[in-house]
Amino acid sequence: MGDSQMAKQEKTLAAPKKTVICISGLAGTGKSTLSKKLADKYHLRYFSGGDVLKELAKQEGYDVSVQGWWESPEGLKFLNERVNDPKFDKTVDDKLLEYAQQGNVLLDSWTMPWLLKEGFKIWLEASLEKRAARVAIRDGITVAEAFEVLKEKEARTKAIYKSLYGFVLGEDFKPFDFILDTDNLSANEVFEVLCKVIDRVVISVPNI
């Protein structure tokens, strides 16, 4: 392939300037790693609701440097703070909405699919068993420990969003344009599927 052809092909990978893509999925679906990879491929700015929340937790005195912090005792303690005070989540959501209005973004978020009218919204689905196995490997804990901490974390998180916005995370799929079951797919296979969907639906790259 010549240089001009390569440049032309690379150009088609860039999403339109007003593009907004939202990716959601419960812990252990691989959404954060996947979101960063997709943002890089399509030249989109990447913003994570979880990263903004971590920064707020850090400002509150939490040490967020621990691997798998959200599932750690400190992470669950901060989750309790969020249950009792909606200011943290509201601050994050206001910031992500601001980024979305600017366009050219990929948002890794649990709330944006419900709060944004525009954008292409993707949900990554996976069973609790599969997600617990992935989190156990990631965080160096047993599958049983991962299973219990995920159940506790998700029950509290669902309560937060149900109270704030009225939707049930992981059960209400109305806002989503595409839902992908990742249980029997590798990370690379999930990436390839989503690239095809984004190419055809969001960017409208013609078949070659």
DSSP character at residue 46 = E
The pLDDT score that the predictor gives to residue 18 is 85
10 domain-assigned = no
* Comparison of pLDDT for 13 and 118, the residue scoring more: 118
155 domain-assigned = yes
204 domain-assigned = no
Which backbone phi and psi does 123 adopt, to 5 degrees?
-115, 130
**pLDDT greater than 80 at residue 98:** yes
Name all contacts of 193-202 with Cβ < 8 Å and 24+ positions apart. Answer: 194/34, 194/38, 194/122, 195/38, 195/41, 197/122, 198/15, 198/21, 198/38, 198/42, 198/120, 201/120, 201/177, 202/15, 202/19, 202/21, 202/120
Average pLDDT over the chain, rounded to an integer = 89
DSSP, collapsed to helix, strand or coil, labels residue 51 as helix
CATH value at residue 161: 3.40.50.300
pLDDT tier for residue 111 given thresholds of 50, 70 and 90 = very high
46 domain-assigned = yes
150 domain-assigned = yes
The pLDDT score that the predictor gives to residue 72 is 87
11 domain-assigned = no
130 domain-assigned = yes
Q: How many CB atoms lie within 10 A of CB 145?
A: 15
What is the per-residue pLDDT across 10-64, written as a single tens digit (0 to 9) for each?
A: 444 556 668 999 999 999 999 999 999 999 999 999 999 999 999 999 999 999 9
Count of domains for the chain: 1
Q: Tell me the residue range of the domain where 98 lies.
A: 18-193
Mean pLDDT of 85-96: 94
CA distances from 82 to 88, 120, 144, 153 (A): 6, 28, 26, 12
pLDDT tier for residue 8 given thresholds of 50, 70 and 90 = very low
Global pTM reads 0.86
